[in-house]
A = this chain, B = another copy of it.
Amino acid sequence: MTAPLRIAIAGLGTVGAGVIRLLEENGALVEARAGRSIVVSAVSARDRSRERGVDLSQITWCDDMAAMAARDDVDVVVELVGGSDGPALALARGALGAGKGLVTANKAMIAHHGQELAERAEESGAPLRFEAAVAGGIPVIQGLHGGASANQIERVYGILNGTSNYILTAMEATGADFGETLAEAQRLGFAEADPAFDIDGVDAAHKLAILAALSFGTRIDFGNVEVEGIRRVRAADIAQADALGFVVRLIGVADIEGEPQSPRLLQRVRPCLIAKTHPLASIDGPTNAVVAEGDFVGRLLFQGPGAGAGPTASAVVADLIGIARGDRSPAFALPAARLRTLDKADSGARTGRTYLRFTVADRPGVLAELTAAMRDADVSIESLIQQGEAEEGGAVLVSMVTHQGPVRCVREAIALLDGSPILADTPLVMPILGTS
């Protein structure tokens, strides 16, 4: 049996404590599968006195987190502090710079600094792993890195934020509106006190940028993710979608488009309509799911718990087992220098079907103005419903679904209506997944 793999854990929130508990409870199994034991040499967190339900008595406590990177009794640093910069990034740089492996659950840090960290890891020959950063316990990073690695991945997409999915599926089940459902989700612990990162799509965008880099062999490019969250989705939109055979889900999609000699990268997080028969339509509550479409394998789907102490600890320790077995392959499956920089695709160049919802004044001529704008922008309407009941202020909702057509035309129609006195609100535009 080889020498133990010695780790230091930075951050002892629920995930950090979960990792220690997992290594306690499943230690013998982990040792057998890894071919060597995994031992915690050192830990660091803000509050030493907090009760965490795990035994820290045999582990060195470090007040100076950054100093853990230099310890002789540490082979791998596990970073569970969070935040794209600050102490987490300093620790990550320090660990890789000192030739230590780095395992992290920090999607923001990888989304912003993944390329730099991958380069540092390669320079020092140390492994960098982040299974827990995407989709919690689902081994989708390993799936793309290993299981699907013989394929050109053509598209990767999925439900990447459990809070948003919980809210949308709860709205679907109860008919309640967004604000009310968010409050209930916060009460039940499915949404943070400050839910902005989740419901505004930023968390999903971090994960999507990581999946895209790994899938397409591109440099991570979080800045070019188009992001729109779920705040503006209303109960009426979900009811409307339902009547048309769709559900509403927050979906991250990435693919490569354009000519092979000038490929462009599309990354988009938006609420979308999905046909009820699509595998993602049945993903309820805080579950995550990722679909990867490969040129040889076809469509793979990975589904499971997207967050939580147990699932996230499972992903962190899976990375540690891989490192213990000797895996030193590059973080993004290709050498960092070979990762391509692609221009951002113009999503307007695509064709697809689109759902549009307008909040309009309830008076004569409104539908004529809306439909004239569609006609003038060359948008063909498949179905249109004006809701019977008036909203606050006497406004009514008009929803429509377009035929397959250029997304650019839909934008043009919206632009034609910009500033029109008939609109009480900015129109809500949702792509229909699988058509664009």
The answer to whether B151 touches A142 (Cβ under 8 A) is: no
Q: Does A333 contact B (CB under 8 A)?
A: yes
B300 and A152 form a contact (CB under 8 A): no
A30's closest neighbor in chain B, by CB? B150
A184 on the B face (CB < 8 A): no
Pick the contact of A303: B30, B147, B151, B279 (CB < 8 A). Answer: B279
Asked whether, in the complex, the Cβ of B300 is within 8 Å of the Cβ of A334, the reply is: no
Interface residues of A in 114-166 (CB under 8 A from B): 131, 137-139, 142-143, 146-152
Nearest first, the 6 A-B pairs at minimum CB distance are: A139-B147, A150-B317, A297-B314, A137-B297, A301-B303, A296-B310
- Out of B25, B32, B150, B325, name the residue touching A314 (CB < 8 Å): B150
- Smallest distance from the beta carbon of A24 to chain B beta carbons, Å? 12
Q: Is the CB of A329 within 8 A of B32?
A: no
| Contact, CB under 8 Å: B334 / A33 | yes
A310 interface neighbour in B138, B148, B297, B325, Cβ under 8 Å: B297
B304 touches A298 (CB 8 A): yes
Task: Indicate whether A101 reaches chain B with its CB closer than 8 angstroms.
Answer: no
Determine whether the beta carbon of A304 is less than 8 Å from that of B297: yes
A30 proximity list for chain B (CB < 8 A): 149-150
Asked whether any CB of chain B lies closer than 8 Å to the CB of A263, the reply is: no
Interface centre among A33, A298, A317 (most CB of B within 10 A): A33
Question: When the two chains form their complex, are residues A143 and B148 in contact, meaning their CB atoms are under 8 A apart?
Answer: no
A 318-333 to B, binary, CB cutoff 8 A, 1 in contact else 0: 1011100111110001
For window 201-237 of chain A, which residues contact chain B by CB distance below 8 Å? 217
Please measure, in the bound complex, the distance between the C-alpha atom of A139 and the C-alpha atom of B147, giving whole angstroms.
5
Asked whether A67 is an interface residue with its Cβ less than 8 Å from the other chain, the reply is no
Q: Determine if A302 and B301 form an interchain contact, defined as CB atoms under 8 angstroms apart.
A: yes
A35 at interface, CB cutoff 8 A:
yes
Minimal Cβ-Cβ distance residue in B for A289: B301
**Residue A338 is within 8 A (CB to CB) of chain B in the complex:** yes
> CB distance B146 to A139 under 8 Å?
yes
Residues in B neighbouring A16, C-beta threshold 8 A: none
B contact residues around A298 at 8 Å (CB): 137, 304-305, 308, 310-311
Residue A367 is within 8 A (CB to CB) of chain B in the complex: no
Closest to A334 in B: B32
Q: How far, in Å, is A150 (CB) from chain B's closest CB?
A: 4
